[in-house]
Structure 1
């Protein structure tokens, strides 16, 4: 939370997994609300999970408890040996869950990778002694991202469920979304800062700290992804912040390492530098990809723009002000990030949440936890 405030973030939508119990029903989300009370540096909206085991009332309970959207994984997720952990959906669970979520009017955000192919390709690579980040990327080829997006679109047509494809890492996936929009499907997509910044050919030098899924792809693909962001085909850019303890990344075996990137503290400054300063992105588009578009899509009616009746949320950015990120600069519990050691030519100097300062370069992150849960 403090990392978000230091990074110029006033509002997050937090995930329903990487916690036990996963957020799948009334009891589990109440535990989350209780655990976060008085400890929030940002405002927090919540995803509810769609899993195979919450189709008998859990989705409706989450709607009643105020989740702003739902989240499902088609790729492997969770540990079946841990009671209450998250689980990825099979086709039936996805179909039935989408029917139920459609009745709430809320969005289902989906991690789109073909589980059968990516898991088996990863097993084969590992059995053959592969450990490199390059081999890990190769085990999750582009078509394994595109194929499930097509299935999701078909299911959306069948169920009427609003859908959002999270962290798209390839233009081919974006193209499927655009075609579906032209056919009248209520679908949007996002990408992440790390897909616009890192590239496959440097991953083995960086190490498993940059492992995520879908994987970071080839450098040759980056200009096309930036073009989609600038044109508006990709609705917004986010961090998909997924932290872990250092030992889960401390391995030379990419297939065994934790998959996820800690990046929320540097989402704003890197996007400003890479987008506005290096690629001439209009400031209006920068505001869209960091604020107004996610607020609009997820129905955060008091967020996303500066207007009468909205929350007084602001971020102040100093342009052309290079600094090199150090681990001690991070406000994360676990001070690891693939951005450490990188020089970023912009700095967040102040963050204002609902009219109150939560961070400034002079005073640091405020110890006053003024963040609140957003319930819709």
Structure 2
């Protein structure tokens, strides 16, 4: 009977992660410049760029550490991938000492500058901007492809909002900036024009969700988060008049707080943050050295015990060998005994009963045969 695959690990409540794409040139230079500025202004405590010789050929790795109230240390690791001349993907994983507070600063702003004419704030899978309204494509095939990518291939939270009527300037403002700062670069907002409702719901049927007319829906991920029910994350009406959509913001915040499964590639990124961390304080370096000394001491103790056990086993083996030799010597045959030792007699008896090939008897002499039968032996010719 086939066994079901094991459930993927869930994202720890202390972890913040996202994948983005930088569409401009010299992404590494932008990161270095901004990290220096943030350190000089004491926004972050420190940062480190991992040397190229210690990272993959096509990657640049940056680490940063800062604190959020009340004195909670956050460690973050950004991996920049040299993808192509048209952009570079980046992966950011941050972990706090306590469960993540979505009201805290976005870890992305601890690495990237916050100017509006920036080119780094695009979601990696869909290439759409985080803090902006993103109109859905008019072509039905492109629409389905985009929504499928948003559900199956993205680390971000995707929200679809339907415009019941064409909004004015206030209604066209993005809603994601109204969320907590910690969600600013984890949420992508899609806008469906008034006439696109039917096409959008047709594309969403495969995911079991429906976009209400004039409302919004938070899309599930793949695999979906435990506890996700489409009705709980659908909002019947969103007024695009410049007012705060409280119900929608609550639905997005609740969804982001669910124990979602780690997406593809996130487990490796989290493991690298925890095991390959380089930006250590003096106390952390001393603690690491103490752990290394303890580990080496345990290994040395285990080697010593293994050596002693081996020596004891060797001594016992030598004793057993000596005892065996003595017992064999006692079983040796006494000189001059004709019948041999009991072991030899047993061996000869066994050979007789093995059923080996028998030697034929020699033929009787003709004269003896004639004398026995009373006939004359044949004359020689």
TM-score (norm 2): 0.25
- State the structure with more CA Rg: 2
TM-score (norm 1): 0.25
